[in-house]
Amino acid sequence: MTVTYLKRGKPETERSDDDAKVRSVVETTLADIETRGDVAVRELSEKFDRFSPPSFRLSPSEIEALMQKVSTRDMEDIRFAQAQVRRFAEAQRASMTDIEIESLPGVFLGHRNIPVQSVGCYVPGGKFPMVASAHMSVLTANVAGVPRIAAATPPFKGAPNPAVIAAMHMGGAHEIYVLGGIQAIGALAIGTETIEPVHMLVGPGNAFVAEAKRQLFGRVGIDLFAGPTETMVIADETVDAEMCATDLLGQAEHGYNSPAVLLTNSRRLAEDTLAEIERLLAILPTAETARVSWADYGEVILCDTYDEMLAVANDIASEHVQVMTDRDDWFLENMHSYGALFLGPRTNVANGDKVIGTNHTLPTKKAGRYTGGLWVGKFLKTHSYQRVETDEAAAMIGEYGSRLCMLEGFVGHAEQCNVRVRRYGGRNVAYGAAAE
Ligand SMILES: NC(=O)c1ccc[n+]([C@@H]2O[C@H](COP(=O)([O-])OP(=O)(O)OC[C@H]3O[C@@H](n4cnc5c(N)ncnc54)[C@H](O)[C@@H]3O)[C@@H](O)[C@H]2O)c1
Ligand SMILES: [Zn+2]
């Protein structure tokens, strides 16, 4: 394979140093919340966000007052975006059906999709007030029928952001907390004197938020590992450098650690894009973070063939994959590891992030190898049940069960089957023996 790096990000070893630091901060902070509850949460909010209101939970009148501050235009835009997210989520919900089959005469097996009973939805807001993340988690939980939705977001510039709070409220949040980072995630999962713990945490966030969810997994459920944004552009000469550079920087601006990767089979496009990125970085108002991300994590990878591009793309398993080639559908058919695909030059990640209707909470750090993004199905638990309706079925399946239990040496298990064979099959099976 001839894969050439025209630009590389910082080596994997240095990236894992960053991870180790975050891991230990999160560990200590969660332990602190566990032992000192509300007191720790307040101290952490003061320390990281300089925010210490009388109550972190917003009252109905505070919510109302914040919503009054959102312009009519912004409210309409939020409503439009939520309508798109709802439409797609409802279609996905409808694709998940409860089933029941008669697997053998008299034997009925089924499953039911049951909503998680309480979820904590994290809406990021350190650098940017991420209004859209409220639709993605709160509204989707609502479509799934979750009866208790607690939403949390950090203060933005010292106060709750009106548009984020409006989106949470309109999305169907039952409780809204103005809390960020590890203290929000910890308080929701562990619980405090004032916050009832939830059963599952969802939503994206920075490295601290993603790591806190990871460490709390097991104690509560989590949707997926959705850390700092990653983006990949797969392009050939059907598009130009302005398009590629814009799409790379458009996501690199999320933070100082957002990988943006160009994968192409055109040396000319690769070189032009490198130059175009420098040109745009000189004029982009958010260049401060985008420039650091690009320097530390940006990559330009040149391949000879489309097959090589496909192999590299599947291996990297980037969160967002923008495909602009003469064979976009071939990539759709053959890509197996990614967060979401954006096919053709008319789509883009920003529309996907904010408005088009697919969920923007997506797997990062190669989690796309084992999961897709957040969707209504993540809020539903699929539980099986069984029912045996006839004496014949109870006796017949019981004979198999009895023998298979004894094969493993489980005498007590076998008796569960035998008592049914005796009672419903009228057969005398000796206690502790296999039914013959
Ligand atoms: N994967 C996805 O689907 C997806 C989607 C949207 C956004 N994102 C990512 O979400 C992130 C949002 O990050 P953000 O920082 O703007 O907001 P955030 O809300 O995730 O984090 C802000 C909080 O981080 C905490 N914090 C900051 N510095 C800290 C430190 N040194 N130690 C401990 N805690 C600290 C603070 O408590 C603050 O409230 C970005 O990285 C973005 O790429 C991911
Ligand atoms: Zn984005």
* Residue-level pLDDT at 124: 97
Instruction: Give the ligand 1 atom nearest the CA of 227.
Output: 1
What is the homologous superfamily of the domain 18-222 according to CATH?
A: Nitrogenase molybdenum iron protein domain (3.40.50.1980)
| Residue numbering of the annotated binding site for Zn(2+) | 251, 254, 353, 413
Residue 259: phi and psi, rounded to 5, are -65, 135
CA distance 178 to 165: 9
The answer to whether residue 46 scores a pLDDT higher than 80 is: yes
- pLDDT tens-digit series, residues 83-114: 999 999 999 999 999 999 999 999 999 999 99
On whether ipTM exceeds 0.95, the answer is yes
Alpha-carbon dihedral 137, 141, 146, 147, rounded to 10 degrees: 60
* Residue-level pLDDT at 16: 73
CA distance 137 to 202: 7
Residue 139 has a CB neighbour count (10 Å cut-off) of: 26
Domain 18-222 shares a fold with domain 228-373: yes
Residue 354: phi and psi, rounded to 5, are -105, -30
Task: Number of helices (H) and strands (E) in the chain: give both, helices first.
Answer: 16, 14
- pLDDT tens-digit series, residues 137-189: 999 999 999 999 999 999 999 999 999 999 999 999 999 999 999 999 999 99
Kindly tell me the sign of the dihedral angle through the C-alpha atoms of 364, 368, 370, 376: positive
Domain range summary for the chain, segments of one domain joined by +: 18-222, 228-373, 390-435
The answer to whether residue 260 scores a pLDDT higher than 70 is: yes
Which strands make up the sheet holding 320-324, listed edge to edge? 3-7, 299-303, 260-264, 231-235, 320-324, 340-343
The answer to whether residue 1 scores a pLDDT higher than 80 is: no
Name the fold adopted by 228-373. Rossmann fold (3.40.50)
Give the pTM. Answer: 0.94
Average pLDDT over residues 394-415: 97
Q: What average pLDDT does the chain have? A: 97
Nearest-CA residue for atom 27 of ligand 1: 48
- pLDDT tens-digit series, residues 279-335: 999 999 999 999 999 999 999 999 999 999 999 999 999 999 999 999 999 999 999
| Residue numbering of the annotated binding site for substrate | 229, 251, 254, 320, 353, 408, 413
